[in-house]
Structure 1
Amino acid sequence: MTPSERPYGTWPSGVSLDALVEGAATRRWPCADGDDLYWVESDPDRAGRGYLRRHRPGEGAPEWVSDLAVRSRVHSFGARPLAARDGRVVVVGDDDQRLYLLRAGRAPEALSPPAPEPRSVRHGAPDLDGHGRVVALRERDTPTGTVDEIVLVDLASRAESTILTGHDFFGAPALSPDGRHVAVVAWDDPSMPWDSTVLVEADLLEGTSRVVLGGPGESVTQPRYGPDGTLYAVTDSSGWWNLHRRDGDAWANAGPSEAEFAPPPWLAGEASYAPRADGSILVSWTRGGLDHVGLLTPTGVLVPLAGPWTCVVGVAASERAAGLIAAGPLFSERVERLDLATRRTGAVVASSAREVDPGDVARPQVLEVETPAGPVHALFYPPTSAAYVGPANEAPPAVLHAHSGPTRRALAQYDLDVQFWTTRGYAYLDVNYGGSTGYGRAYRERLRGHWGVVDVEDCAACLRACAQRGLLDPARVVSIGSSASGVTTLGLARRGVLAAASLRYPVTDLRRLARASARFEAHYLDGLVGTLPGADALYRERSALGFVDELSTPLALFHGTEDEVVPLAQSLALASALEARGVPHCLVVVEGEGHGFRDPATWRREAAVEESFFARVLGLGPFDPTLGVEIRHAEALAPPTPSA
């Protein structure tokens, strides 16, 4: 069938508002034990809470292991909530943050004592040895502050003992196979775990501990013992997060590469590699904005495994099983088994997101844009439809997305939030500005002291490059931001390069964010902007509430009444300033929502308002009056074009 010509931004789409919220299950934390694969799966049908699932060969569909909701709330962002070995499964209960032992036919058995106050003691990242012991990270509130500790629990006696203290933060601990040693990453304020960390190894027999790797200017993450007792860790001492192996007291790069073998350690216990008994290592890595999976041989040769993955959540391997959670251009995250002997894979659980006809799916294109400061990276998704094309003499409108964090990256995967726009005739540009992960330490540190400057400049440079290549219409660029990426989006609005922007719970006051940040991020802005009070002028200069008089871009704002990270007052103040200046805007206040909307009904309404707001600003159609939202000063907008 020959596609019909229709103006960009007005194409009928198979990605409906309902599709954005239906079947939005998430899967994380793969774990292998014997033949079994475990993971945690959350589902809107269960109020978005996570539960343990298990797959066994030959048993068909995976089973739900327990009705106990599992989740670790360590460091506010969380940690791996499960471990499995020799048929034993240990998890963290979401409701009380205690460790539990799960056994077939029995109710969950608490391994740790109840906390003095609800969730005042939080466990995370458990690991098991072969001798009936569990090591875990424990975060504990005390009258004088919150402390991190590493604890050891005996499964038989339920005795819990503290084995490591003395640092502001610990990561996920690892137990050696013989049960004698524990290795764990530690760091202290004001560093973040991607800045400077050390790897501490404790000798449980001698009762001693020592630093074995890391130091100032080096980020170590993901320590793990191999089946033969060899200690591994990922470190960026080479300028890239590469996997290293200990040999005596020395460390060797197991496979030198200009690639990243770990994500930024926001969550304790993520697994990007799994050592195997034959000396090889199942690994995932990021190069050029895409994720890959392969085997790292004992001689340091990296052998890629053929597969459709471009985004890997985690890998797992035991003596008999291997698996991963990954996504690709045509499917959202799913669990797959790996047969490392034949290098064959098969989906254990199908993608949860509603599938779109392959002819309607926009695939990510890797972009590299040269700037005076060096290359900038991005993922570009063209407007895509099997049924429609845009006018030959017209470039499409575009959605610019700057990821939040900001120490994160845009992920190359099938995402209905992207396809929602590309199937309607918008281009979608996802920028990995300087400061993003996946491109080495030097690129990550480009943002140091320059948040709100480098990210804005890099996004603007990508827009210019795409416009020069005819990929988008620079006069019709809209942007979507949330939380921390509000700094970038509002910085672009200040420069006048956006036709409109949509912002969810945006950061508009950096000084207030610095004061209100949770313990894990308490000093994050010291590195991104500067140390207060000395850098007060910088904080004012880069905060939207400090340059609101320079804003004329129409804005749609969404904010929850229960947001404790970025208070609703920030969006109220921004809306008030826009109102006083007659700038078109709308403000949607969502009762009961906090930082990061959780109710699918909220997601649906937000997307509906966003789509209609952008269409109205770009002249593609009228604003939907049934949404119950008013665009203030809409009279300042150009009327919709007759063709819309």
Structure 2
Amino acid sequence: MASPAPSSGTTAERQRVTAPYGSWKSPITADVVSGASKSLGGIAVDGDGRLVWLESRPNESGRSVLVKEPEKPGDEPVDITPKEFSVRTLCQKYGGGTFSISGDTLVFPNYEDQRLYKQSLHLKDSPPLPITPDYGGPSVCYVDGVFDSKFGRYIAVREDRRDSSLNPTTTVVAIDLGEKDIQEPKTLISGNDLYAFPRMDPKGEKIAWIEWSHPNILWDKAELWVGYISEAGDIYKRVCVAGHDPKHVESPTEPKWSPKGELFFITDRQDGFWNLYKWIESTNEILPLYPLNAEFARPSWIFGLNSDEVIQSDEQKTLIACSYRQRGRSYLAIVDVLHSSLSLLDIPFTDIQDITSGSNCLYVEGASGLLPSSVAKVTLNDEKSAGIDFQIIWSSSPDSLKYGSYFSLPELIEFPTEVPGQNAYAYFYPPSNHDYQASSEVKPPLLLESHGGPTSEAQGVLNLSIQYWTSRGWAFVDVNYGGSTGYGREFRERLLGRWGIVDVDDCCSCAKFLVESGKVDGTRLCITGGSAGGLL
């Protein structure tokens, strides 16, 4: 996809109007910002190799709909979800990991009653059928499910609020996918406070999962377990793979089995960065695949994150497609497990969220300073062909590109904090509007954003809420204060016990740095933010 181009003429050809910063007129209005974007809730590939995605639609009161890639290029995508359904889980409020596909079978939760439903993708107009009991309301919900073909069941995390809405019980359960009467799900894993990422091995003989307990959060301290499954479908033996050693405070995440039955996962045991590892079953050891001071995962605020995919697993080689984040930018790469080597794939995205493998391709969810949140099909050419093919399949805001001539591109800045020798980071957006300019004698006002989480990360991607301000003559800065992710555990833990102190100091230090650098007006500084970033 080409970069957005000015709608008419170039900056050099235009005669700009001189007007004070903050007074410029812009077509990026509040209505454009509020109605521009659909949000993406996950991607998967069906048995035909076609992409299925979950999108939330503002024009349908936020209803979440599963959509299927068309068979022929140029045709319209096909809605899978009937109009009386909305695909959304209430597990841990943030959701994610909402639906799963195996062949032509789809399983998803319906928002209104939170029951799981099974639907055929091949049978036209096939109605979704419930597979979990009706508890008379949304008191029980399911998330992060996978198929267990050996036993004809669906394995998922269940959150049960029937006894207490404030302290729900979380377990991993098995749901029968047969045609007989709906039965109460069978509990497979229980006893700890929270669970995520239940993942079956190819033979249905082992299951991996992540668990953790209060007061820890998944990205602070967690454990990766493997359970061995009996012929009756129960777990008869358990092994803790990572997180049990008191010498290593770590947060393993995203376990994944290869077709050969190898277990790969991500943890931050070495140097505090989330890196790829392999489990050696015979000795219960773990080996790093390609150590790098970069983050190969993100904090799991939502379920179902998928930062890597095993794309080849045979006697010759094992290849893992992965994304990692380093100094404010995401990279797409292929790791050769046998040779411990890494090869970069050149794509336009500077931020990558999820990866799903297709037939000789990857579906990558990402964005950049010029591209809104999108899903691209990245075709992997054979070794004799140079390069890759990159095609946008879905865009959260395709109409936003017509405003490209007004876009301000983010600049990653590093600035000193209140602590000597410690720096933090931010994305700075200067004012940008091809119709206007301001007097060279004045500096623009600054709007500073403190992101939520607080363990989120400013990502430097196209956001019309930011462009609303910059196209009117404001400067904007999105701060990655100490406590943000993307820079390793040490940076993330700067906020422990000091929330509301470190983040505030870093935001003030960033504003001061921009004033002293001559980029903004020190007498006109404002701050904004939501969630944890809105409590400053």
2:256 counterpart SS class? strand
CA RMSD of aligned residues (A): 1.7
Cα distance in 2 for residues equivalent to 1:21 and 1:411: 20
Amino acid at match of 2:211: A
Contact 1:245 1:251 in 2 (8 A): yes
Corresponding residue for residue 18 of structure 1: 31
Secondary structure in 1 matching 2:88: coil
| Superposed CA offset, 1:327-348 (max 9, x none) | 1111211121121225211011
Q: Which residue is 1:396 aligned to?
A: 444
* Counterpart position of 1:74: 91
User: How far 1:320 sits from its partner (Å)?
Assistant: 4.6
Deviation at 1:314, TM superposition (A): 1.2
What is the CA deviation profile of residues 100-128 of structure 1, one whole-angstrom value per residue up to 9, with x for unaligned ones?
1110332102121112x411111001112
How big is the shift at 1:354?
Answer: 2.6
Question: Under a length normalisation based on structure 1, what TM-score does the superposition of the two structures give?
Answer: 0.73
User: What does 1:108-507 correspond to in 2, within 5 Å?
Assistant: 108-115=128-135, 117-131=136-150, 132-143=152-163, 145-156=167-178, 157=180, 160-205=185-230, 207-215=236-244, 217-238=249-270, 239-248=272-281, 249-278=284-313, 279-298=318-337, 299-341=339-381, 343-352=388-397, 354-371=400-417, 372-488=420-536
Pairwise CA distance, 1:319: 4.8
Contact 2:273 2:489 in 1 (8 A): yes
CA distance in 2, matches of 1:23, 1:395: 30
Q: CA deviation at 1:351?
A: 4.1
CA distance in 1, matches of 2:361, 2:155: 23
1:147 to 1:179, Cα distance in 2 relative to 1, 3 A: same
In 2, distance between residues paired with 1:93 and 1:236?
35
Give the letter for the 1:179 counterpart: G
Q: Deviations over 1:203-245 (max 9, x none)?
A: 1215222311114621111111122211111111111011211
User: Match of 1:441, as an amino acid?
Assistant: R
Query: Tell me, what secondary structure is at the counterpart of 1:207?
Result: strand
1:297/1:451 Cα in 2 relative to 1: closer, same or farther (>3 Å)?
A: same
C-alpha distance in structure 2 between counterparts of 1:439 and 1:153, whole Å: 39
Number of residues paired by the alignment? Answer: 487
Larger helix proportion of the pair: 1
Aligned residue for 1:465, secondary structure, equals helix
Q: State the match for 2:17 in structure 1.
A: 4
- Provide the rounded CA distance (Å) in 1 between the counterparts of 2:484 and 2:421: 15
SS of residue in 2 equivalent to 1:192: coil
Structure 1 CA distance, aligned partners of 2:534 and 2:421? Answer: 23
Q: Distance in 2 between matches of 1:303 and 1:19?
A: 40
Corresponding residue to 1:30 among 38, 43, 54: 43
Question: Alpha-carbon deviation of 1:83?
Answer: 1.0
Determine the C-alpha separation between the residues in 2 that align with 1:214 and 1:32. Answer: 32
Aligned to 2:10: none
Describe the shift of the 1:54–1:321 C-alpha distance in structure 2 as closer, same or farther (beyond 3 A): farther
Structure 2 residue matching 1:172: 3-state secondary structure: strand
Q: Which residue of 2 aligns with 1:495?
A: none
Q: Residue 40 of structure 2 contacts residue 396 of structure 2 at CA under 8 Å; is this kept in 1?
A: no
102, 110, 113: which one pairs with 1:85?
102
Indicate the SS of the match to 2:515.
Answer: helix
CA distance in 2, matches of 1:257, 1:56: 39
Q: When you count strand as a share of all residues, which structure comes out higher?
A: 2
Alignment partner, residue 502 of structure 1: none
SS of 1:395's equivalent in the other structure is coil
Counterpart contact for 2:28–2:403, Cα < 8 Å: no
1:53 corresponds in structure 2 to 67
With the length of structure 2 as denominator, give the TM-score of the two structures: 0.87
Match of 1:139, as an amino acid? Answer: E
Structure 2 stretches of 5 or more lacking a match? Answer: 1-13, 382-386
Partner of 1:471, secondary structure, is: coil
- Tell me how far apart the structure 1 counterparts of residues 483 and 312 of structure 2 sit (CA, whole Å): 37
Q: For the residues of structure 2 that align with 1:162 and 1:319, how far apart are their CA atoms?
A: 35
Q: Does structure 2 conserve the Cα–Cα contact (< 8 Å) formed by 1:74 and 1:123?
A: yes
The residue number in structure 2 matching 1:100 is: 117
Distance 1:253 1:222 in 2: 15
Give structure 1 stretches of 5+ with no counterpart: 489-644
Distance 1:28 1:285 in 2: 21
Structure 2 counterpart of 1:281, one-letter code? I
The alpha-carbon deviation at position 471 of structure 1 amounts to 1.0
Aligned to 2:4: none
CA shift digits 1:35-69 (9 cap, x unpaired): 11111101111110211111155353321112231
Equivalent residue letter for 2:288: N
Contact 1:435 1:446 in 2 (8 A): yes
Distance across 2 between alignment mates of 1:65 and 1:29:
14
Structure 1 segments, 4+ long, off by >6 Å, are none
In the alignment, what sits opposite 1:521?
A: none
Check the 8 A contact 1:240/1:440 in 2, yes or no: yes
Change (3 A) 1:100 1:320: farther
1: distance between equivalents of 2:412 and 2:39? 25
Q: Provide, for residues 355-406 of structure 1, a one-character-per-residue CA deviation record: whole Å limited to 9, x for no partner.
A: 3433311111101113315111111011011121221111110100000111
* 1:378/1:22 CA distance change after superposition, 3 Å: same
After superposition, give the CA deviation of every residue in 1:405-446 in whole Å (9 maximum; x if it has no partner). Answer: 111111221000000000000000100000000000000000
Q: Secondary structure at the match of 1:357?
A: helix
Tell me how far apart the structure 2 counterparts of residues 72 and 179 of structure 1 sit (CA, whole Å).
Answer: 26
SS at 2:413 equivalent: strand
- Listed one character per residue, the Cα deviations across residues 12-45 of structure 1 (whole Å, up to 9, x for unaligned) are 1120121012232111311123411111101111
Comparing 11-20 with 426-435, which one deviates more in the overlay? 11-20
Larger deviation, residues 391-400 vs 155-164: 155-164
- Partner Cα distance (1:301, 1:129) in 2: 33
Structure 2 Cα separation of the partners of residues 48 and 430 of structure 1: 27
